[in-house]
Amino acid sequence: MGVQSGRDLLLKVDIDGNAVFETFAGLRATRLAFNSGMVDVTTLDSAGGWRELLHGGGVKSAAISGSGVFRDAATDARARQLFFDGEVVTWQVIVPDFGTIEGRFQITALEFASSHDGEATYEISLASAGALTFSPL
């Protein structure tokens, strides 16, 4: 994967529950993180006292976060409604020259900020709520 423009990393939300994805408007920064827990199965018999891990064990999760400015009334309203309803819906993250990650996420934080001489901004955090799929480009 070569050098890419940051604006090419896109966060999209299923607007109507029918797999119609719309780019989440106004984002200036986006972050996607994958995590995998481990299950330690080390015993007194482990070779040399080295830790052993259970293959395929542990809980996998993904987190998405982003920050930006208000640009689009439809996606702003969708984010607010999803947060207040605690709804879990399908999102897509498109990573240039890598692929598309798709799955169900819940908005876990939605923050708004502004200053008297600047634009209103927001920050959003999402947590995975099930298995994710990956489609390489």
Count up the domains in the chain and report the number: 1
* Residues contacting 62, CB < 8 A, separation 6+: 32, 33, 34, 35, 101, 103, 105, 127, 128, 132
Say what percent of the chain tops pLDDT 70: 94
25 located within any domain: yes
Overall pTM surpassing 0.75 (yes/no): yes
Dump pLDDT digits (tens) for 47-105: 999 999 999 889 999 999 999 887 777 777 888 899 999 999 999 999 888 899 999 99
1 located within any domain: no
pLDDT greater than 80 at residue 25: no
132 located within any domain: yes
Identify which of 96, 75, 97, 83 has the alpha carbon closest to the alpha carbon of residue 20.
75
126 located within any domain: yes
20 located within any domain: yes
Q: Which amino acid is at 106?
A: Q
24 located within any domain: yes
Task: Give pLDDT, residue 130.
Answer: 95
Is residue 32 within 8 Å of residue 101, measured between CB atoms? yes
Q: Check residue 78 and give left, alpha or beta (phi > 0: left; psi -120 to 50: alpha).
A: alpha
Dump pLDDT digits (tens) for 37-48: 999 999 999 999
CATH number for the domain including 89?
2.30.110
Q: Provide the CB-side half-sphere exposure for 42 (13 A, CA).
A: 8
Task: Give pLDDT, residue 88.
Answer: 95
Residue 110 belongs to what domain range? 6-136
Q: Which amino acid is at 41?
A: V
